Amino acid sequence: MTLDLTPNLDPFALARALSGKHFYDGAFQAGRSGKTFPVNNPATGAEIGTAPFGDEADVNAAVAAAKAAQKGWAKLPARQRGKLVAECGRVLVNHVEELGRLIALETGKALRTESRVEAGVLADMFTFFGGLGSELKGETVPFHPDMMTMTVREPVGVVAAIIPWNVPLLLMAMKAAAALVAGNSVVVKSAEESPLTVLRVTQIMNSVLPAGVFNILSGFGPECGAPLVAHPDVKKVSFTGSVETGRIVYKAAAEKLIPVTLELGGKSPMIVCADADTDKALAGAIAGMRFTRQGQSCTAASRIFVHEDIHDAFVAALKAKVDAMVMGDPLDEKTDIGTIISGGQFDRVQSYIALGRETAGATELACSSMPTDPKLAKGLFVQPRIFTGVTNNDRIAREEIFGPVCCVIKWKDFDSVIEQANDSEYGLAATIWTRDLKTAMDATRRLEAGFVQVNQNLVVQPNLSYGGVKTSGLGREASLESMLEHFTHKKTIIINMA
Ligand code: ADP
Ligand code: MG
């Protein structure tokens, strides 16, 4: 097939057509070295396509294109940039089904519960940020009567956006839309596990944007991500990924003294009080733990603290609900739960399940059931696990697993459960479930997290600042303030009129 902009609902054909390509300077580009790596369907293990193994030569070419395009882009009136970004959202709406299927194929996330949903919310980020062009305002300062003193917001230049594989469309959109409206050009480094759908989105966005303004490279961290961060013309890095890699990126950026936004891991607590609406809390646990995404979420509610009075009934009901979820082919509409992303993550998750089993006092509850379809025999399916009888000090309750494994911890004393919830290296998200307003307010003040919710568990929303404290990261995303703080410099101008 040709890679035109007609939505293609055959993800296998689309994956083949997108194979072996970066996209920069307004066009698909082969990798300079000619080396590629396979992209696999985690539900079968079959190769569905390839992606270029990007290296420093590709980085240099993409950054040069981005640098050349940025000056003209920044000169456009801010509202005009915003209109073009919003137009990207409008065009992407036509591709929801196409993108949903392709992301399901390359990541193993179930189409109905996850992939189509992610493709559907993508446009919203572009629409939201597209309206913010004229919010790039400065101030006038009453400094001296003879001097006109003001501040203006200027773009930082070329932005590097490094994204992971779990929600690549949404995370790319959040970074791209904000950076672009602020007048920057962008070079994305996609995750090696899921390079194809974001490549397609880049092609679609480039049907609207001027050449070179929005670019994407595929490749691995050390060979492609590291030279991108280190490139002298890259003036800002926005990174989402693991704590370990976040530290490497932060150090590399420190060498160049450029600003960084980091959105890293989590081990998010969910506190269920005895007076909670348990139906709502159960639905919140299912959604919060992202069972439909195999728990592959940095905000996964992987530590569920349940009051002792309702603990046993809650656990039984939670298990019944997860049991009722169907694991299977991610592209099948009946499927609730797809696969783990890669063999490496699969092994890691299995090692944590083994660790849970060895944890003193812990009980393992294996939920749902493995798919029986022989064509999925090599698929990276893992039965969701609930571990009860765990304490907050056990490794399984402390380390981020990034898989369908959650701990349910019994509690009795409110001060102590808040203390346990905060006793974590992470601080990304937290929820509290109670009908008592005072308890809820008290908890929201005391919980150490960037995103705290009462009686619900929403994901990232346009204009709600999103990000963590402690090792969960630095800076915020998704909001107007995040665009101003992280994608612009403030310049002070003084005009002496005397
Ligand atoms: P995960 O554990 O989910 O793979 P990573 O933090 O390893 O998370 O990956 C997130 C993103 O960071 C990916 O796009 C990956 O290629 C990239 N990455 C990994 N190592 C580096 C590095 N040294 N410099 C820049 N980017 C990197
Ligand atoms: Mg990695």
Q: How confident is the model at residue 57 (pLDDT cuts 50, 70, 90)?
A: very high
The rounded Å distance from CA 391 to ligand 2 centre is 29
Of all protein residues, the one whose alpha carbon is nearest to atom 24 of ligand 1 is 226
Question: Facing residues of 50 across strands?
Answer: 38
Q: Tell me the C-alpha distance between 279 and 298, whole Å.
A: 24
Average pLDDT of every residue of the chain = 98
263 lines ligand 1 (CB under 6 A): no
Tokens encoding 76:
């456009």
The pLDDT-based confidence of 324 (bands split at 50, 70, 90) is very high
**How confident is the model at residue 130, as a pLDDT?**
98
Strands 385-388 and 363-366: antiparallel
Ligand 1 center to 53 CA (angstroms) = 14
* Cβ contacts of 137 within 8 Å, gap of 6 or more: 153
The pTM assigned to this predicted structure is 0.98
Find out whether 392 and 419 touch, Cβ atoms under 8 Å.
no
Mean pLDDT along residues 302-319: 98
Give the active site residues.
Answer: 263
Residue in the structure block whose two tokens are 């919310």: 121
Beta-carbon contacts of 6 under 8 Å, excluding residues fewer than 6 positions away, are none
In 163-292, which ranges are continuous DSSP H helix?
168-181, 196-205, 226-230, 243-256, 278-288
Atom 19 of ligand 1, residue of closest alpha carbon: 221
List the beta strands (DSSP E) in 346-471. 363-366, 385-388, 405-411, 426-427, 429-433, 451-454, 469-470
255-275 mean pLDDT: 98
- Closest listed ligand to the CA of 229: 1
Q: Is 220 in the pocket of ligand 1 (CB under 6 A)?
A: yes
Atom of ligand 1 nearest to the CA of 164: 10
Rounded alpha-carbon distances, angstroms, from residue 177 to 22, 84, 123, 351: 20, 10, 10, 38
Which pLDDT value is given to residue 392?
98
CA of 140 relative to ligand 1 center, distance in Å: 42
For the stretch 339-351, pLDDT in tens is: 999 999 999 999 9
Residues 6+ apart with CB under 8 A from 235: 156, 157, 158, 159, 258
Would you say the CB of residue 189 lies under 6 angstroms from ligand 1?
A: yes
Q: Which residue from 252, 82, 248 is spatially nearest to 179, judged by alpha carbons?
A: 82
Per-position b or e across 324-356, b if 16+ CB within 10 A of its CB: ebebbbbbbeebbbbbbbbeebbeebeebbebb
Residue 240 Cα to ligand 1 midpoint, Å, equals: 8
CA-nearest residue, atom 25 of ligand 1: 225
410 CA distance to ligand 1 middle (Å): 35
Residue from 240, 245, 293, 347 whose mutation best tests the ligand 1 pocket (most atoms within 8 A of CB): 245
241 lines ligand 1 (CB under 6 A): yes
Average pLDDT over residues 135-143: 97
CA-closest residue to ligand 1 atom 17: 221
How far apart CA 26 and CA 209 sit, in angstroms, is 9
Q: Which of 227, 162, 217 is nearest to 195 (CA)?
A: 217
Is residue 1 scored above 60 in pLDDT? no
pLDDT tens digit sequence for 415-428: 999 999 999 999 99
Q: How far is CA 148 from the centre of its chain?
A: 43
Centroid of chain to Cα 446: 26
CA distance from start to end of the chain: 68
pLDDT at 56: 98
pLDDT(402) > 70: yes
User: For residue 191, which atom of ligand 1 is closest to its CA?
Assistant: 14
Domains, the chain, in order of start with CATH, read 11-264+472-493 (3.40.605.10), 269-462 (3.40.309.10)
* pLDDT > 80? residue 119: yes
At residue 2, the pLDDT reads 59
- Rounded CA gap, 325 and 320, in Å? 9
pLDDT digits (tens, 9 = 90+) for 266-307: 999 999 999 999 999 999 999 999 999 999 999 999 999 999
Give the closest ligand to the alpha carbon of residue 224. Answer: 1
In this predicted structure, the answer to whether residue 219 has a pLDDT above a threshold of 90 is yes
